[in-house]
Homo-oligomer: A and B are copies of this chain.
Amino acid sequence: MICLAYHIPPLQSLIEQFEKLPGIGRKTAQRLAFYVLDLSKEDAGKFADAITKAHEKIRTCTICQSLTDSELCPVCSNNGRDKTTICVVEDSQDVMAFERTKEYNGTYHVLHGLISPMEGITPDRLKIKELLHRIGEDDIGEVIMATNPTVEGEATAMYISRLLKPFHIKVTRLAYGIPVGGDLEYADEITLMRALEGRSEL
């Protein structure tokens, strides 16, 4: 409750809804709620509609488990994409990040999480079965493990790469190194070590 003395229930509940969003504190929630109140009736309706419509229409692609509003996602339904390469990512936001590079022409597989015993996320809660199914069905040449370079991301990549051993396909991992535009001085030791290990000839 942001203000007990001045209690207007519809305003409070709007503020509380914004407060639940990640990274939004009390003051920001209040500012956003007042902004929404200042919108025209039409614009406020559009905002509310966008929330309900997104929830109604968005589901996961039957092949790669990424978000889509139809049977297949834009990548899986595109015949110009290389269907023999699968890039395994944690969530659909990672798919968008890769798509923004406009460099990758293969397909994706969204795990919808990472293995994390601490948070009770076991491998069976991720979309790993679906990945194995795709590899068994289709002619896959390479699986790129593109999970985050964190403990959970590494563990998940290792776990899946072991499961893929029997299929005898190429399993790769994203390169580690210094980020472009970064500063060597601020890079941590492990990143620097990995950058050295992965050095290439000029």
Chain A residues in the interface with B (C-beta under 8 A): 2-3, 5-11, 13-14, 16-17, 21-24, 28, 30-37, 39, 41, 44-58, 67-69, 73-75, 91-93, 95-96, 99-100, 102
Contact of A46 among B3, B17, B21, B22 (CB under 8 A): B17
Distance, CA A119 to CA B114, complexed state (A): 51
Copies in the complex: 2
Q: Which of A11, A46, A54, A58: most chain B Cβ within 10 A?
A: A54
Distance, CA A141 to CA B76, complexed state (A): 73
B3 touches A96 (CB 8 A): yes
Known: A37-B58, A44-B51, A48-B52. 18 other contacts (CB 8 A): A5-B99, A5-B100, A6-B99, A8-B74, A10-B54, A10-B57, A13-B50, A13-B53, A14-B51, A14-B54, A22-B35, A23-B28, A23-B31, A30-B93, A36-B54, A39-B55, A45-B55, A48-B51
Smallest CB-CB A-B distances: 7 pairs: A48-B48, A5-B99, A14-B54, A6-B99, A48-B51, A10-B57, A10-B54
A102 touches B5 (CB 8 A): yes
Contact of A17 among B50, B56, B100 (CB under 8 A): B50
Distance, CA A51 to CA B13, complexed state (A): 9
**15 interchain pairs (CB within 8 A)?**
A3-B99, A5-B102, A6-B73, A6-B99, A7-B74, A8-B73, A10-B53, A10-B58, A21-B36, A30-B96, A34-B93, A36-B51, A37-B55, A41-B55, A47-B51
Distance, CA A172 to CA B1, complexed state (A): 32
The minimal Cβ–Cβ distance linking A106 to chain B, given in whole angstroms, is 13
A8 touches B58 (CB 8 A): yes
